[in-house]
Amino acid sequence: MLLDEIGELPFGLQAKLLRVLQESEIRRVGDQKTRRVDARVLAATARDLEAETKAGRFARTSSIGSTSW
C-alpha cells in the first residue's frame, strides 16, 4: 500500500493506522470480530517530519521502522 503525503494525515488517523500496522488486525465498520491482515506500507511525504513531530503535528511513533528522517 502506498500512502502518499503521510505528513498530511490527521493525528487521530495516524494513531489508528499505527495500531493496524502493529497489531495486524482490523475491524470492519459494524462488524463484531477482528480480521488479521498482512500488509506492506510505503509512505512518502515532502514535509520535514522531524519538524512536524516537534510541532506536535506528527506522531513520532508513526515513524517506527522508517529508514530515513
Taking only the tens place, the pLDDT of each residue in 1-50 is: 898 998 888 988 988 888 888 899 999 999 999 999 998 888 888 989 88
Is-contact 28 20, C-beta < 8 A?
A: no
Structure pTM?
Answer: 0.69
Q: How confident is the model at residue 56 (pLDDT cuts 50, 70, 90)?
A: confident
pLDDT at 11: 84
Range 7-12, long-range pairs (CB < 8 A, 24+ positions): 7/45, 7/46, 7/47, 7/49, 7/52, 7/57, 7/58, 8/45, 8/47, 11/57, 11/58, 11/59
Residue 50, pLDDT score: 86
